[in-house]
């Protein structure tokens, strides 16, 4: 059943074509490309990894992005409304929403870690560069310790048994990892607050629709 012009909902539109292009660029050039891609490239053969990656992007990534974008532009609606025209495949819409939700939950946690590092970076010296912090253990080793020839061997022996200050900052201060799987540990209230603030920021960045993107 078609909607008459009187009761058809008013759609928001992009003010400029470049706004749409930048929104799409922010969608597929996200945190995963900046954070994970160099690591995956290093772990899977360096330059050789680019060959299957570029082939996958050319024959799978770009066609699917064009298909999804064209489908949304043609239907002029969101994913849930777009599949109303084909009720048999409405499950595709629900699957898409679930995938986006899981991706957002995953990346919002990473952003909470990043925000903690940003706040800690205003300290001098950097808390992950020195030992002596409340979370450091006796095995903490500072990587920038200047060693002379008289105690070089001793420092080398301690370094093999020790843990770097950066690793202890990550595992103990940021993650708060327990000693074993049998120890549940406590809720990281600082990370919880970061996550809540980030979700609030996401809401205020999107509740106005395309005008605020």
163 is in an annotated binding site: no
DSSP string, 108-139: HHHHHHHHHHHHHTTSSS-TTT-S-STT--TT
Query: What helix, strand, coil percent values describe the chain, rounded to 5?
Result: 65, 0, 35
Distance CA 82, CA 87 (A): 10
Q: Kindly tell me the burial class for residue 83, based on how many C-beta atoms sit within 10 Å of its own C-beta (0-12, 13-18, 19 or more).
A: buried
33 is in an annotated binding site: yes
Place of tokens 């940003």: 118
Distance CA 170, CA 101 (A): 26
29 is in an annotated binding site: yes
Distance of CA 69 to the CA centre of its chain: 23
Judged by phi (left if over 0) then psi (alpha if -120 to 50, else beta), residue 11 lies in: beta
- Where is the binding site for Na(+), in residues? 26, 29, 33
- Where is the binding site, in residues? 26, 29, 33
């Amino acid at each position: 059943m078609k909607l008459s012009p009187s009761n058809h909902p008013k759609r928001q539109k992009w003010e400029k074509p470049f706004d749409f292009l930048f929104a799409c660029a922010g969608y597929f050039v996200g945190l995963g490309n900046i954070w994970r891609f160099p690591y995956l490239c290093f772990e899977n053969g360096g330059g050789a990894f680019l060959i299957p990656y570029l082939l996958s992007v050319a024959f799978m990534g770009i066609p699917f992005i064009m298909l999804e974008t064209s489908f949304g532009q043609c239907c002029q609606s969101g994913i849930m409304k777009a599949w109303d025209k084909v009720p048999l495949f409405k499950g595709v819409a629900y699957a898409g929403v679930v995938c986006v939700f899981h991706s957002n939950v995953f990346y919002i946690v990473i952003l909470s870690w990043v925000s903690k590092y940003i706040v800690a970076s205003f300290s001098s010296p950097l808390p992950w560069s020195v030992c002596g912090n409340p979370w450091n253990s006796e095995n903490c080793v500072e990587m920038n310790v200047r060693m002379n020839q008289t105690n070089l061997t001793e420092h080398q022996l301690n370094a093999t048994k020790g843990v770097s200050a950066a690793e202890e900052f990550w595992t103990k201060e940021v993650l708060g990892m327990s000693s074993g799987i049998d120890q549940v540990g406590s809720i990281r209230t600082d990370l919880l607050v970061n996550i809540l603030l980030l979700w609030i920021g996401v809401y205020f960045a999107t509740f106005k629709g395309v005008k605020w993107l």
